[in-house]
């Protein structure tokens, strides 16, 4: 199966890119360069970059389609208790007092509006994080090295790597000098992996053992090198993981499941009372049929604890607020309940739950310690008290 780049008007004929017979880690640097038509001394030209950018698209992970405010609104409206309240309000507007119908409508809008507002606030906070920085990478094109946005990188581009920089796409190493990369975000291994551009590995080599490859989302921890991009966007190893993760349907939390079961029970209780009591009153002649129906609706409205969703939302919102004070942003309030239900975490990977980095918490200058050493030393020859460092 071949991928042919479309020819653009006014440009030179594009280079045909075919799927290689061997894996990238089983090809020499010269073979990879020849496959992409890339010169390691000059890189790609602008015409080729534009053609490949049109073919493969920007180098970014496809974002999942976000629910609109109206979709969240409709989802909340479909809850059993809300539907019963809505039906009650409609019948009251037809047979009863319009004031009672408006009251029920206000209660419904308050319940649904609280959830919609929380969803909007979380989306706004997450969107704000994406504007904090614009990721860039050093790329060689037209014989010049320049820093450019990661989204503009295409297969065949030459990227220059150095310690502290994040790898922008999957790439085959061409040159490496004491190069090591942190691949914990992809493989879970917190120890940096040594890289060697001159190695040739079998096709079936495991991802964590491909020492001549670099992958999007990992970080160079030491050394420097040059690599040629072989995959971008959703075609990278990280993109494939993201694609699989998005296919998993998010299960209901324990609180959501319990609330749903309680809603069904309360709905049946409310329906039972709203039918049985008015029916007996109508059969005994105490109320007319219309009065009996309105009485049943009043019983249903009184039986449903419409303030319960508001109380639960407020409790979860307080939990989210406390997390926010600790610099943690909660995208969905249900995550607060899930986090609170955790009792034990079993993990065997260092760096999986932490940031896999250390920082200095206190600093004790050497000169000050030497000057104040006698004063800080204990009377019986104990060690001087030094501030704790991490």
Least confident range from 14-28, 118-132, 224-238: namely 118-132
Last residue of a domain, one of 225, 241, 257: 241
Check whether residue 236 and residue 324 sit in a common domain: no
In this structure, the answer to whether residues 171 and 49 fall within a common structural domain is: yes
| Mean pLDDT of the 260-285 span | 78
User: What pLDDT does 123 receive?
Assistant: 63
Instruction: Render 312-365 in DSSP notation, one character per residue.
Output: HHHHHHHHHHHHHHTT---SSTHHHHHHHT--------TTSSS-S----S----
Q: What is the pLDDT of residue 331?
A: 62
Separation CA 317–CA 340 (nearest Å) = 13
pLDDT tens by residue, 230-270? 999 889 998 888 777 666 666 666 776 777 777 778 778 77
Give the residue ranges of DSSP H helices in 96-188: 98-129, 184-187
> CA 40 to CA 331: how far, in whole Å?
44
Q: Which helix (H) or strand (E) holds 225?
A: strand 219-231
In a domain, 12, yes or no: no
Cβ atoms within 10 Å of 44's Cβ, excluding its own:
26
Q: Rg for the chain (alpha carbons), in Å?
A: 32
Q: Tell me, what CATH number does 207's domain have?
A: 2.70.150.10
Nearest to 28 by CA among 165, 174, 131: 174
Beta-carbon contacts of 381 under 8 Å, excluding residues fewer than 6 positions away, are none
Residue 342 pLDDT greater than 70, yes or no: yes
Asked whether residue 82 is assigned to any structural domain, the reply reads: no
pLDDT value at 384 more than 60: no
Residue 212 lies in a domain: yes
Q: Indicate whether 214 belongs to any domain.
A: yes
Domain that holds residue 42: 20-59+135-241
Helix count and strand count (H, E) for the chain: 13, 9
Residue 304: its pLDDT value, please? 66
- Same domain, yes or no: 328 and 184: no
Q: What percent of the chain has pLDDT over 70?
A: 65
**Residues 204 and 331 reside in one and the same domain:** no
- Residue 280: in which H helix or E strand, if any? helix 254-283
pLDDT for 224 beyond 80: yes
**Domain match, 327 and 189 both:** no
Closest by CA position to 146, among listed 156, 155, 137, 154: 137
Q: Is residue 360 part of a domain?
A: no
Rounded mean pLDDT of 57-72?
76
Do residues 234 and 315 both lie within one domain? Answer: no
CA distance 85 to 146: 62
Higher-confidence position of 71 and 27: 27
Range ranked top by mean pLDDT from 116-125, 202-211, 350-359:
202-211
Residue 326 inside a domain? The answer is: yes
pLDDT-derived band at 389 (thresholds 50, 70, 90) equals very low
Count of domains forming the chain: 2
* CA gap 249, 44 in Å, rounded: 41
Residue among 100, 145, 348, 367 flagged as catalytic: 348
Last residue of a domain, one of 241, 268, 299: 241
Residue 215 within any structural domain of the chain? yes
250 within a domain of the structure (yes/no): no
Q: What percent of the chain has pLDDT over 90?
A: 27
Which two three-digit tokens encode residue 344? 């034990």
Q: Which of 80-94, 169-183, 232-246, 280-294 has the lowest mean pLDDT?
A: 80-94
pLDDT of the residue at 325? 73
Q: Do 232 and 153 belong to one domain?
A: yes
Query: Is 369 considered catalytic here?
Result: no
- Tokens coding 90: 């409609």
- Please name which of 119, 72, 111, 129 lies closest in space to residue 331, comparing C-alpha atoms: 119
Q: Is 262 helix (H, G, I), strand (E, B) or coil?
A: helix
Mean pLDDT for the chain overall: 75
Together in a domain, 198 and 327: no
- Considering the domain architecture, whether residues 184 and 41 belong to the same structural domain is answered as yes
- Which of 221, 241, 261 delimits the end of a domain? 241
CB 214, CB 46: distance < 8 Å: no
Sign of CA dihedral 262, 263, 268, 269: positive
Which residue in 293, 73, 32 sits closest to 155, CA to CA?
A: 32
| Of the candidates 232, 234, 235, 229, the residue with the CA atom closest to the CA atom of residue 24 | 229
pLDDT of residue 27: 93
pTM over 0.85: no
- Do 25 and 139 lie in a common domain? yes
Whose structure tokens read 């709905």?
Answer: 267
Q: Could you tell me if 25 and 156 lie in one domain?
A: yes
If residue 74 lies in a helix (H) or strand (E), which one and from where to where?
A: helix 69-77
Of 122, 151, 156, the C-alpha closest to 140 is 156
The closest of 198, 224, 230 to 211, measured between CA atoms, is 198
Same domain, 51 and 140: yes
Q: What is the 3-state secondary structure (H, E, C) of 16-61?
A: CEECCCCCHHHCCHHHHHHHHCCECCCEECHHHHHHHHHHHCCCCC
pLDDT attached to residue 180? 94
Average pLDDT over residues 22-26: 92
**Token couple for 278:** 């008015």
- 78 to 65, 84, 85, 87: CA distances (angstroms): 21, 10, 11, 12
């Amino acid at each position: 199966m071949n991928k042919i780049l479309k020819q653009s008007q006014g440009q030179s004929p594009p280079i045909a890119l075919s799927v290689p017979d061997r894996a990238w880690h089983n090809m020499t640097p010269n073979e990879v360069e020849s496959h992409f038509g890339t010169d390691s001394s000059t890189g790609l030209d602008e015409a080729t970059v534009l053609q490949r950018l049109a073919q493969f698209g920007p180098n970014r992970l496809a974002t999942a389609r976000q629910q609109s405010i109206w979709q969240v609104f409709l989802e909340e409206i479909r809850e059993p208790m809300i539907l019963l309240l809505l039906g009650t309000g409609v019948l009251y507007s037809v047979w009863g007092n319009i004031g009672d119908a408006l009251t029920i409508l206000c209660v419904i809008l308050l319940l649904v509006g609280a959830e919609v507002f929380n969803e909007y606030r979380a989306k706004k906070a997450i969107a704000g994080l994406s504007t904090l920085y614009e990721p860039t990478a050093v790329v060689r094109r037209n014989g010049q090295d320049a820093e450019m946005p990661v989204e503009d990188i295409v297969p065949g581009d030459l990227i220059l790597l150095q310690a502290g920089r994040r790898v922008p796409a999957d790439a085959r190493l061409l040159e490496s000098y004491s190069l090591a990369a942190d691949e914990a975000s992809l493989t879970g291994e917190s120890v940096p992996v040594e890289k060697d551009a001159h190695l040739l590995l079998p096709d079936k080599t495991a991802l964590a053992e491909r020492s001549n490859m670099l992958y999007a989302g990992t970080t160079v921890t030491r050394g420097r090198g040059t690599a040629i991009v072989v995959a971008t966007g959703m075609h990278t190893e990280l993109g494939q993981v993201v694609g699989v993760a998005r296919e998993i349907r998010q299960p209901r939390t324990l609180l959501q499941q319990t609330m749903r079961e309680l809603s069904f029970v309360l709905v049946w209780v409310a329906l039972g009372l709203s039918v049985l009591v008015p029916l007996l009153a109508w059969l005994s002649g105490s109320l007319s049929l219309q009065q009996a129906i309105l009485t049943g609706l009043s019983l249903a409205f009184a039986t449903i604890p419409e303030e319960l969703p508001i109380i639960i939302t407020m409790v979860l919102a307080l939990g989210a607020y406390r997390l926010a004070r600790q610099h943690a942003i909660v995208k969905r309030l249900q995550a607060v309940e899930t986090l609170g239900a955790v009792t034990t975490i079993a993990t065997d990977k260092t760096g999986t739950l932490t940031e896999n980095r250390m920082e200095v918490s206190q600093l004790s200058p050497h000169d000050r310690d030497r000057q104040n050493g006698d004063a800080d030393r204990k009377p019986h020859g104990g060690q001087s008290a030094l501030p704790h460092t991490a």
